[in-house]
Structure 1
Amino acid sequence: MMEEAQTPPSHGQLRDEAADWFTIMRGPDAETRRQEFEAWLARGAVQRMAYNRIAETFSLGKFLNETSETEKPDLPKPQGENRRRMYLAFVGTALVGLTAIGAFHWYGDIPAGNLASPPPIAVSLPSGAQPQKLATAIGEIRFFKLADGSTVTLDTGSLLLISLSKTERDLRLVRGHARFEVAHEARPFVVSAGGGTVTARGTIFDVTVADDRRIKVHLLRGAVDVAMADARGQSGGPPLRLTPGQQISLEEGGVLQLAQASDANNGDAQWPDGLRDYENVRLSDLIADANRYASQPLVAASDDVNEIRVSGTFRVTDTKHLAQNLAGLLGLTLVASPNSLSLARSCPAGRQNICQPPS
């Protein structure tokens, strides 16, 4: 699928548009403006790249304005218009700070796979055919467009089986993490994972098969019905309907946890773009997410480094770039070895590693 040719907007115009949309989509008007925002993103790769860059500079802006999270007292979260002003301030500070240190490049060397919503790979499966396998390698995020117009995004190390017929759209997530944007039509769209099923029509939702085999469903838009089978494969009770923002965790035999919209963790809403939002999490948790994509794992050299608290939006699909950013933002040393990248308080003894002390 080719995107329509357009006159390229100026760097300054892109930056301003992206900053405006970033602020709007993190504020109280996000849902009412979502269609306009998605139409802006759909104009082309440069818009999506600009938005991703703003998200990354927002993270740096937070660090430029805040003391260490380990020293920062708990404060109430800003609401409404005050919250919007704070986001504008964060973005503005990030732009100024990045320009000052020469680290902000709108058209830098960004792998194409890390851009938001690249053209999907078309998947056409004849009715009655054997299930088709869609899979991603470690570190890979791929977009697929199904014959019915639905879109599937597969996260790193995922496997999905698809079977389309004249009456049904059946999919099974065997492993990994997937986002489904469902085209509205008469045939039910059913995603199976573990012992659970998710039935949707014209909606957007994520399904995860976690390492512990727990199944997680997160609804972003529309409505889905989640059902669970017991150990014998029989129905575990009536399906539970989710509303936008809710997420549910399931295991064999029943429902474990339902999170209400106000409590649901929406930090991974941008994961198809390689971005994740974090709010006062341990550095070890961010590292664990990044290592799902890494060929060279990122590690913390000590327990006290693992316990550092961080907040912001980070690109977790580029481990080397993430490690460099974290080292600079947190005042840590980056130690490179053949097998890993390590964040430490200081350079270790010996010459076998390449050590980059904090600037």
Structure 2
Amino acid sequence: MDTDNSHRTDELLLEKQAIAWFTRMNGRPSPADRGDFEAWLAASSDHARHYDKVAALWSDMGTLSAVLGASESEALAAPLERIRALRRERGRGRAAAGAVLGLVLALCLGWIWLDRPHLFENWRADQVTTRGEQRMIVLADGSTAQLDSDSALAVDFSAGLRRVRLLRGTAFFEVKRSEAPFVVSAGQGEARVLGTSFEVAANDEGGVTVTLASGSVSVELPQSREAVVLNPGERVAYGGHGLGKAEAVDVAEVTAWRAGRFIFDDMPLAQVLTRIERHHRGRIVLLDSTLGRRHVTGNVTLRDSAAALAALQSSVGFSVTTVGPVTFVSP
């Protein structure tokens, strides 16, 4: 029984790897990707078998390379149109259509997960940074917003209110003084100022932290009517637990990302890897939750995510396995 379960697990893993490789190789693979793919293919006949199976199933849909060469909307629309065409064709049963639909969804979602993990969120944004990119944005009122890697910002200015929404990631704002309030919304709360310098950071779990560098900022949760006013050098967090208490922090350490560094103290490894991933081309997948809860301290570069991961591996001691664009971290 255990042998059968182990075999099914191995087969499922190989199938996922084959789908990931098929998606990548029919997208925009780099020379390094091609080399890694050839090495993976040659490592086992089972790799080639699963890859050929995925390719054969997909051939009924047309080549993925033509789809991924189009815009994001076309990339999703084209396979769906092919599914509709298959349904109209006579002689095809529901089982065949369902199998093709499952493959299309797996490949499209695989492509989104690898290359466009925040595709739909980015459509709502006015400013977006990709992984490994930082950008300084000058807003209409002369205020500036420095976006960290893999961040998204929506801007909505009116005559009496300057509002921006941090959809994802981290941004450092230097607000030009004005009678019109400057409001940064993130998660379930907002930070309201007239003129100041501060950072807003949103994590993937819906938590938000606001750190004040200069001036004054009021952090509010409109639904619960909770509020706290920060002084320079203070930070507050909010999320599903409500609004926390203000605490003193080293602003230079918190905002070290602006100079290409990531300084962390007694932070769970899972959170550290998530931050490094925002500067990494590809995905970092943590395979062990216990390892992810281990607290670590360090100071790594964000200019070279591979070097940051290697430094972390050296100090913590974990295994790293790279399969094309996906890096697996395990005990």
TM-score (norm 2): 0.52
- The CA deviation string for residues 50-81 of structure 1, in whole angstroms up to 9 with x for no partner, is xxxxxxxxxxxxxxxxxxxxxxxxxxxxxxxx
Measured on the aligned residues, the alpha-carbon RMSD in Å equals 3.5
Deviates more, 1:298-307 or 1:267-276: 298-307
Which residue is equivalent to 2:230?
242
Other structure's SS at 2:172 match: strand
Q: Is 1:260 paired with 2:253? A: no
Which residue is equivalent to 1:5?
none
Q: State the aligned residue count.
A: 208
Matches within 5 A, 1:146-295: 146-230=139-223, 236-237=224-225, 239-251=227-239, 255-261=242-248, 267-281=253-267, 283-295=269-281
One-letter amino acid of the structure 1 residue matched with residue 225 of structure 2: G
One-letter amino acid of the structure 1 residue matched with residue 265 of structure 2: E
Structure 2 Cα separation of the partners of residues 212 and 304 of structure 1: 18
Report the CA distance shift for 1:309/1:150 in structure 2 as closer, same or farther (over 3 A). same
Structure 2 Cα separation of the partners of residues 227 and 257 of structure 1: 11
Q: Contact 1:248 / 1:255 at 8 angstroms: preserved in 2?
A: no
Q: Contact 1:305 / 1:344 at 8 angstroms: preserved in 2?
A: yes
One-letter amino acid of the structure 2 residue matched with residue 242 of structure 1: L
Report the CA distance shift for 1:269/1:302 in structure 2 as closer, same or farther (over 3 A). same
Matches within 5 A, 1:30-45: none
Taking only the aligned residue pairs, the percentage that are identical comes to 28
Q: Contact 1:275 / 1:315 at 8 angstroms: preserved in 2?
A: yes
Q: Contact 2:144 / 2:174 at 8 angstroms: preserved in 1?
A: yes
Structure 1 Cα separation of the partners of residues 319 and 290 of structure 2: 14
One-letter amino acid of the structure 2 residue matched with residue 277 of structure 1: I
Structure 2 Cα separation of the partners of residues 320 and 294 of structure 1: 8
One-letter amino acid of the structure 1 residue matched with residue 237 of structure 2: S
Structure 2 Cα separation of the partners of residues 313 and 268 of structure 1: 11
Please report how far the alpha carbon of residue 322 of structure 1 lies from its aligned counterpart in structure 2 after TM superposition: 1.8
Structure 2 Cα separation of the partners of residues 304 and 132 of structure 1: 35
Q: Contact 1:132 / 1:163 at 8 angstroms: preserved in 2?
A: no
Q: Is 1:323 paired with 2:309? A: yes
Q: Contact 2:212 / 2:251 at 8 angstroms: preserved in 1?
A: no
Structure 2 Cα separation of the partners of residues 179 and 159 of structure 1: 12
Structure 2 Cα separation of the partners of residues 270 and 317 of structure 1: 12
Matches within 5 A, 1:102-181: 133-181=126-174
Q: Contact 1:277 / 1:313 at 8 angstroms: preserved in 2?
A: yes
Report the CA distance shift for 1:240/1:156 in structure 2 as closer, same or farther (over 3 A). same
Structure 2 Cα separation of the partners of residues 255 and 332 of structure 1: 35
Please report how far the alpha carbon of residue 280 of structure 1 lies from its aligned counterpart in structure 2 after TM superposition: 4.5
Please report how far the alpha carbon of residue 136 of structure 1 lies from its aligned counterpart in structure 2 after TM superposition: 1.9
Q: Which runs of 5+ in 2 are unaligned?
A: 1-123
Other structure's SS at 1:286 match: helix
Report the CA distance shift for 1:325/1:148 in structure 2 as closer, same or farther (over 3 A). same
Report the CA distance shift for 1:215/1:343 in structure 2 as closer, same or farther (over 3 A). closer
Report the CA distance shift for 1:170/1:310 in structure 2 as closer, same or farther (over 3 A). closer
One-letter amino acid of the structure 2 residue matched with residue 338 of structure 1: G
Q: Contact 1:290 / 1:317 at 8 angstroms: preserved in 2?
A: no
- The CA deviation string for residues 193-223 of structure 1, in whole angstroms up to 9 with x for no partner, is 2332211122111223332223322222211
One-letter amino acid of the structure 1 residue matched with residue 216 of structure 2: A
Report the CA distance shift for 1:145/1:255 in structure 2 as closer, same or farther (over 3 A). same
Q: Contact 2:213 / 2:251 at 8 angstroms: preserved in 1?
A: no
Q: Contact 1:323 / 1:341 at 8 angstroms: preserved in 2?
A: no
Report the CA distance shift for 1:265/1:343 in structure 2 as closer, same or farther (over 3 A). farther
Please report how far the alpha carbon of residue 284 of structure 1 lies from its aligned counterpart in structure 2 after TM superposition: 4.4
Q: Contact 1:226 / 1:239 at 8 angstroms: preserved in 2?
A: yes
Aligned pair partner of 1:314 in 300, 303, 317:
300
One-letter amino acid of the structure 1 residue matched with residue 301 of structure 2: R
Report the CA distance shift for 1:184/1:286 in structure 2 as closer, same or farther (over 3 A). same
One-letter amino acid of the structure 1 residue matched with residue 203 of structure 2: A
